[in-house]
C-alpha cells in the first residue's frame, strides 16, 4: 500500500498546462485508469501512482524541441529527489514517464510503464477522447467535419483507423477491452454526426 502525497500533487498541478487536452483533469483520469488497470493486471501501485501523476509535466516546458516524455522524466527525477523518494522508485517512475509517448522512442520495459502507457491511451478514446479530439482541433482551427462527402468519410474513417492502430499497440488486455468498448461508442457518434449533417459515413 502506498501513501498519496498531497504536496507532490500540488506541485504536479502547478506544472500542468491549462490546455483542455492535457490539463490536470486528464492527469487525474489517467491516475484512475492506471490504478484500475493495475488492480487487474498487477504492478507496483506506488510507481504507477507517481508515474501517472507526473507523466505530462514535461508539457510545461515550452522551449524544448524534445519529447515532453523525456523532458517530463528529467523534471520528475529532480522533483522526486526533492521529496526524498528512494532511488529504485525514482528510476522506475522516470523510465515509465519517458516511455509513455512513442514519439520519444523509449520502449516500455516494466509492467508499470506499460500500464501508464495504456492508461494514457484509454483517455484518448470514447466520449472524453472525442471531446479532447475536438478541443485539440479547435485550438488548431481544424473544422469538426468537412463539407465534402468524400473528405468527411475520410476524416471519420481516418480517426477510426488511427484508433485501431493505437489499440493494436496497447500492452494490456484490460486497456484493450476498454478502448474497444469506447471505440464502439465513437462509431455510433460518427454515424449520428453523419445523419445530422446529411452525409453518409
Quick check: 92 binds Fe ion (CB under 5 A)? no
Total of residues contacting Fe ion (CB under 5 A): 2
* Coil vs helix vs strand at 39: helix
Beta carbon nearer to Fe ion, 46 or 120: 120
Handedness of CA 24, 30, 35, 36 (dihedral sign): positive
13's grid cell: 498541478
Minimum distance of Fe ion from residue 154's CB (angstroms): 27
**Euclidean distance between CA atoms 35 and 116, whole angstroms:** 9
* Region from 34-42, 88-96, 115-123, 128-136 binding Fe ion, contact rule CB under 5 A: 115-123
| Residue carrying C-alpha cell 500533487 | 9
Quick check: 77 binds Fe ion (CB under 5 A)? no
**Euclidean distance between CA atoms 93 and 87, whole angstroms:** 10
Residue 104's nearest CA partner among 119, 112, 94 is: 94
Quick check: 118 binds Fe ion (CB under 5 A)? no
Beta carbon nearer to Fe ion, 86 or 137: 137
- The CB density around residue 54, as the number of other CB atoms within 10 Å, is 28
* Region from 5-13, 49-57, 140-148, 191-199 binding Fe ion, contact rule CB under 5 A: 49-57
Taking CB under 5 A as the criterion, which residues in 122-181 touch Fe ion? none
69's grid cell: 516524455
Beta carbon nearer to Fe ion, 53 or 156: 53
* Region from 41-49, 50-58, 129-137, 168-176 binding Fe ion, contact rule CB under 5 A: 50-58
71's grid cell: 523532458
Q: Which of 120, 121, 129, 156 binds Fe ion (CB under 5 A)?
A: 120
* Region from 3-11, 53-61, 137-145, 190-198 binding Fe ion, contact rule CB under 5 A: 53-61
Q: Phi then psi for 44, rounded to 5 degrees?
A: -80, 115
R_g of the chain, CA atoms, integer Å: 18
Q: Which of 43, 51, 56, 183 binds Fe ion (CB under 5 A)?
A: 56
Interface residues with Fe ion (CB under 5 A)? 56, 120
Amino acid at each position: 500500500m502506498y501513501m498519496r502525497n498531497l504536496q507532490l500533487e500540488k506541485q504536479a498541478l502547478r506544472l500542468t498546462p491549462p490546455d483542455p487536452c492535457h490539463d490536470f483533469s486528464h492527469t487525474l483520469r489517467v491516475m484512475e485508469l492506471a490504478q484500475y488497470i493495475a488492480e487487474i493486471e498487477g504492478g507496483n501501485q506506488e510507481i504507477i501512482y507517481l508515474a501517472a501523476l507526473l507523466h505530462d509535466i514535461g508539457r510545461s516546458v515550452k522551449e524544448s524541441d524534445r519529447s515532453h516524455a523525456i523532458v517530463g522524466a528529467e523534471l520528475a527525477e529532480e522533483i522526486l529527489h526533492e521529496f526524498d523518494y528512494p532511488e529504485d522508485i525514482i528510476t522506475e517512475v522516470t523510465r515509465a514517464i519517458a516511455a509513455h509517448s512513442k514519439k520519444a522512442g523509449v520502449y516500455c520495459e516494466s509492467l508499470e510503464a506499460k500500464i501508464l502507457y495504456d492508461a494514457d491511451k484509454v483517455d484518448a478514446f470514447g466520449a472524453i477522447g472525442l471531446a479532447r479530439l475536438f478541443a485539440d482541433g479547435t485550438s488548431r482551427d481544424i473544422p469538426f467535419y468537412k463539407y465534402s462527402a468524400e473528405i468527411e468519410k475520410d476524416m471519420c474513417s481516418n480517426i477510426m483507423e488511427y484508433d485501431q492502430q493505437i489499440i493494436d499497440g496497447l500492452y494490456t488486455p484490460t486497456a484493450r477491452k476498454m478502448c474497444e468498448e469506447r471505440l464502439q461508442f465513437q462509431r455510433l457518434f460518427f454515424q449520428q454526426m453523419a445523419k445530422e449533417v446529411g452525409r453518409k459515413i
